[in-house]
Structures are given as C-alpha cells and as structure tokens.
Amino acid sequence: MEIVELPIKEIRKNPYQPRQTFDEDKLEDLKHSILTHGVMQPITVRKAVKGYTLVAGERRLRASKKAGLAAIPAIITDMSDKEMMELAIIENLQREDLSALEEAESYKQLMNTAGLTQDGLSQRLGKSRSYIANMLRLLNLPAAVKSAMNQDKLSSAHGRTLLSLRDPVLMEQVASEAIAKHMSVRALEAYVKTFDKKKKIRKTSKKLKFLQGYENQLKEHYGTNVEIKKVKNKGLIQLEFTSEEEFKRILAMLQKK
C-alpha cells in the first residue's frame, strides 16, 4: 500500500468512532514522541466528497494536531461504511486503556454492525462467550453508576455486583454508599447480599443507624457478610462463611492481636 502525506486540515474524524474520551496526558506523551520521532505508523483514511474521512488512527491524528503538524502520513483505502465501522471498533478493542464500558459498547456496536450473536462475536474476537456476556451486562447499569465507573470511582466488578440488585434506583443508592465508604468489591458483594430481591431490603434494615454503621465496617474488615442483632439488652454478631478455607481466614483475623 502506498503511504502519502495528507494535509491534516482535510481529514475529518471517523463518524463511527466508538471511543468518546481520550486521555489527555497520554495524548501529550504521544505528541512529544511525534515531535521527536515523527508519526511512526500512518493513519488510514477514505476518500470523501470533500477531503478525507479518518478510518483508523484518531489518537495519532489528535496528537499530530497538538504537535502543530500540517500533514500526516496516511494510507488511502476504499471501504464501505460497514467495513469502516467494523475496523474502527476492532482497532478500538485492541487498545489497552479501553474502559470496561467503552469495551462493552464496542461489543454491542460490532454485534449490531456485523449482525453477530454473542457466540459469533466470541469466535471472531477469540474471547469466551461468558466474558462478552458479562461485559454487555454493564450497559444495563443506570446512568449515574456508569458515570461513576467512567470517573474510576467504581470498577467493572463493582458494576457487575450492583446489577444483582435489579432495581435501578437501589443500584444508584448502593453505588453512592460504596463510593462514600470506599467499599472493596468483596465488601460490596457482602452488602448486596443483605438485600432481598422482592422486598428490596431485609427487615433488619430497620435496625438502629449506629448498628448499621458498625455492621458495614465489620463487613469491610472481614470481607464477608456480617449481621448485628439486638434483642432487648443483648446483642449478637454473626459472621458468614461459605467454606472451611473462608472460616479459617476469618478465625485467624479474629485471633490476631
């Protein structure tokens, strides 16, 4: 393929680019690299009615603009809209810094564009069907939770845990608590188990607020479900374990001075 120098001002962005956010610090690093070594890998474009449309290489194009370059090395290709969209999505999926939600959105777009099922997508990308299914489930999270994930306040594992609550309002409420209390994924899993899927929350949710606070602290500390019961003037603390290994871990923590 022939590599040509094209005026940057004649290249418009790819309308099918699934990536919405770009790390400014990494763009700055790439800009400095381009100023020192030039653009090492040409971008790919398609001839348009006026100028060119970017097919692949948006980070290189953005960094080149930041570097003040007037032209950029490019390969001109002849692609259909469908091929152009697929290539943009696949290139995006190869990026290491792709967020979980961007990855999930890319899977959804590729399935819609190429008419693929989850099984078909699994075979095409070499990823397990269960992995793709779990990623796609993240798209069912409410907007507020997605926003928190995009801001790195919650991880994708937090998001998958919240999905078990099913109620979007409840998901947002619990997500806010998880962020405020800096809950680990394990602590959040333990907390989510206290909610009843039908009644939303167990009757014990009416317990005194100060007990709930201590209960959450213990859940975070021991990494398991903890329940504090108060009957008249007596109290009971219960720690849950699901295996002998987990029992020994909790016991060791209790015996530690």
Among candidate residues 10, 58, 86, 189, the one labeled active-site is: 58
> Are the C-beta atoms of residues 106 and 121 closer than 8 Å to each other?
no
> Are the C-beta atoms of residues 198 and 229 closer than 8 Å to each other?
no
**For every residue of the chain, which 3-state class applies, written as one string?**
CCEEEEEHHHEECCCCCCCCCCCHHHHHHHHHHHHHHCCCCCEEEEECCCCEEEEECHHHHHHHHHCCCCEEEEEEECCCHHHHHHHHHHHHHCCCCCCHHHHHHHHHHHHHHHCCCHHHHHHHHCCCHHHHHHHHHHHHCCHHHHHHHHCCCCCHHHHHHHHCCCCHHHHHHHHHHHHHCCCCHHHHHHHHCCCCCCCCCCHHHHCCHHHHHHHHHHHHHHCCCEEEEEECCEEEEEECCCCHHHHHHHHHHHHCC
Integer Cα distance of 241 and 257 in angstroms: 21
> Are the C-beta atoms of residues 19 and 92 closer than 8 Å to each other?
yes
58 among known catalytic residues? yes
What residue has token string 């080149």?
64
Terminal alpha carbon distance of the chain: 69
Catalytically active residues are 58
